[in-house]
Amino acid sequence: MNNKPTLLKAQIRDVIFGKNVTVVEPVNLYECEIGENTFIGPFVEIQSTAKIGKHCKIQSHVFICSLVTIGDYCFISHGAKFVNDLFSVGHPAGGDETMWKPTTIGSHVSIGTNATILPVHITDHVVIGAGAVVTKDITTPGVYAGNPARKLRSLRRGA
C-alpha cells in the first residue's frame, strides 16, 4: 500500500514587519511581529503572538514559540530553542494554550548556539552560553552557561 502524506509548506503568513527586515527562506513565520532592521535566517520558525524587537539577528534553525517576547539589539544563535509548555500534566499541553507560559527576553541579550530557554524572564545585557539550559529567571546582567544555566561572571561595561 502506498499511502500519501499530507504535505504542508513553510510560509510567511499574517506577520507584522518593521522597516528593513531581511528574511532568508525557507522560514515558517505566522501571526508574529518582527521589528525594524531585524535579520531572520533560514529554517527559522516564529509562532503566533511572538514579538521580536528592533535590530535583532535570528540565526538559522531557531525555534521561537508562541508567548515569547524578545527585546531590541538581541542575537539568537543557530539552533536556539524556546519552550512554552512545561508538560505540567505529564504530557504535552497540545493546543491548550491556557497551560502555556510566556518568556520575556530583555534588550542587548545574546543567546548561544543550541541553548534552550524555558518560560523565564531574562533581563537586559545578558549572554547565554552555547548549549545552556535556562530554567530560572535571570535578573542580573552577566554571562550564564551550563545546565541549568548559572552566572559565570559579570559583563564589562563599554567592552
| pLDDT, tens only, 65-107 | 999 999 999 999 999 999 998 888 888 887 777 888 999 999 9
**Cell numbers placing 57:** 539577528
Chain centroid offset of residue 81 CA: 6
Residue 34 lies in a domain: yes
Whether the CA torsion 101, 91, 28, 58 is positive or negative: it is: positive
CB atoms under 10 Å from CB of 4, counted, come to: 5
Residue 31 lies in a domain: yes
Residue 42 lies in a domain: yes
Tell me how many domains the chain contains.
Answer: 1
Q: What is the CATH number of the domain that holds 147?
A: 2.160.10.10
pLDDT for 110: 98
Residue 8 lies in a domain: no
* pTM of the shown model: 0.93
